Each structure stands twice: as C-alpha cells, then as structure tokens.
Amino acid sequence: MQTGNSIGGVVAQAAGLFAVTNVDDLVLLALFFAQTAGHRGGAARVVLGQYLGFAAILAVSVAAALGATLLPEPVLPYLGLLPLALGVRAAWRAWRAWRERNGGDEEEPSGPGGPAALAVAAVTFANGGDNVGVYVPVFATSGPAGIALYAAVFLVLVAVWCLAGRLFAGRPLVARALRRWGHVLLPLVLIAVGLVILLG
C-alpha cells in the first residue's frame, strides 16, 4: 500500500505529465467549443468526444505497458490521416458556406452545430500518438495501482481541460476572433496536426 506522500507524488507527476502532453489540445478544444456556440448539446458532444478519444489513448498505453502491442510503431504516423481528412472536410464545408453566403443564400445549415463526438474523439486520439510514446514507459514502471492512479488523475484533468477550452473560447475577444475566423482556423489547425503526425 502506498503512503500518502508517495500517492501525492504520483498525483503531482501525473498532473505534470498530462499538462505537458496535452497543451496542444487546448487550442483544438477552444476551436471545437467555438463551433458549438448557440447550438444546444454541442458542448456536450465535444466533452464526450474528448473523453472517448482520451480513453482510447489510455487503453492503448496501458495495453502496451502490459506487453500488448495494439498499434505497432510504424502505424502511428498514419494516425495523422484522421485529422488531415477532417481538416480537408472542414475546409470544404467552410468554402461551400462562403460560396452560399456570397450567392445570396442566407439559410442557416440544418442539423446540430459543431463537430460530432466521434470527430472530436478521432482528432484527440490521432493527436495523442505522441502521448502513447510517453505514457507507456511510465505505466510500465508504475504497477497496477500506479497505472490506476495515473488514469484517474488523467480522466479528472480531461474535464479541467474541457472547462479551460470552453472558458478560453468564451472570452469576449477570443470568442469574437473565433466566430470570425474559426471556420478558417479549424481546418488549418487540423491539417497542420495531421501533417505533423504524418511527417513526425
């Protein structure tokens, strides 16, 4: 049984590890949350997608730490195809919306606003390929209790990250910028993330 001091140390290490490996997710979360502004249930889909994607990262990391290789290393760069494809799709939609606006069609698109939960999950998972590389050696030396503690801290911090992304997107200056340019920024960021993963 671990002492209070060692548990506190693991919690602090887990928090630091999560922050360092997920700082780039804050930008993506802010862009996703900006897309959901004014649409009921949009924020919940972003949170659900973030949890699904991060749970998949955790599952792969834990399995690899315990000796199973679910994703061979040569396959990891190809995860970049997910955000790349989503970025191209978002760019195509933004271009079509721009053409419709300039053609005099002011009709709002129907359906739920913002990204689908599975799209957020796919981007989160693909962007977490480097996380897996960092988490596996840490988990491999932590034992089952340590892995469980790391996972619990990580899952709590996913909620903190979602809250931070939503607050960031809701700041008046940022919100105005994201409303004005988010439809351009999101495809660019997704395509950049995809290329970095593919070429990394």
Instruction: Output b/e per residue, 41-67; b: 16+ Cβ within 10 A.
Output: ebbebbbbbbbbbbbbbbebbbbbbee
Does the pTM exceed 0.85?
A: no
Collapsed DSSP state (helix, strand, coil) of residue 69: coil
For residue 126, give both structure tokens: 């693909």
The amino acid at 19: A
Beta-strand ranges (E) seen in the chain are none
Per-residue pLDDT of the chain (200 residues; tens, 9 = 90+): 455 558 888 899 999 989 888 887 888 888 888 888 777 888 999 999 999 999 999 999 998 888 765 556 676 677 677 677 877 877 787 777 767 777 654 444 434 567 889 989 988 988 887 788 788 888 888 888 999 999 999 999 999 999 999 888 887 776 666 666 666 676 777 787 678 777 86
